[in-house]
Amino acid sequence: MIEVYSDEYFMKQAFNEAELAKAADEVPVGAVVVVNKKIIGRGHNLTERLTDVTAHAEMQAITAASSYLGAKYLTECTLYVTLEPCAMCAGALYWSQIGKIVFAAADEKRGFKNMGGQLHPSTKIEGGLMAEQASDLLKKYFKSKR
């Protein structure tokens, strides 16, 4: 059983978003932004649907969270995302000064860590939670596209 309001609980919510992306035939990545155990922003990858490379899950979740808070900075918030953010999303997260990032699968090829991106010095980051499920979801998607 998933403990309510645990990291796993919120990551599962990010997975629900990833499933929405998958259902829309998009690369399945999902994200939620949480503050005080409450989800204040959600997003899933919509780059194909919107014909827009900027429409990553994290970008939409950040925009939604800032809109909810009426504040640009997300210093008290945590982002849960099913895949390591890319350099663009890491750059947006840098500007947002987000408190913490929890991601599932690492992205060796396009993740910000190997692309040279950086986060705000005050942002904590953890990777690996439900990483296998996230990798499986992505692998199945790409396999279905071949």
- Which stretches of the chain bind its own copies, using CB under 8 A? 47-48, 51-54, 59, 62-63, 66-67, 70-73, 86-92, 94-96, 112, 115-118
Nearer to its own copies, 36 or 51 (CB): 51
Nearer to its own copies, 93 or 129 (CB): 93
d(CA 83, CA 1): 23
How many angstroms separate the most distant Cα atoms in the chain?
43
Nearer to its own copies, 13 or 63 (CB): 63
Residue pair 69/54 in contact by the 8 Å Cβ criterion: no
Smallest gap from Cβ 64 to its own copies, in A, equals 10
Nearer to its own copies, 20 or 89 (CB): 89
Residue pair 119/101 in contact by the 8 Å Cβ criterion: yes
d(CA 98, CA 76): 7
Q: Is 58 one of the annotated active-site residues of the chain? A: yes
| 18 backbone φψ class: left, alpha, beta (φ>0; ψ -120 to 50) | alpha
Selecting among 58, 76, 84, 132, the annotated active-site residue is 58
Smallest gap from Cβ 57 to its own copies, in A, equals 13
Residue pair 120/94 in contact by the 8 Å Cβ criterion: yes
Smallest gap from Cβ 2 to its own copies, in A, equals 31
Smallest gap from Cβ 95 to its own copies, in A, equals 4
What amino acid positions are annotated as catalytic residues? 58
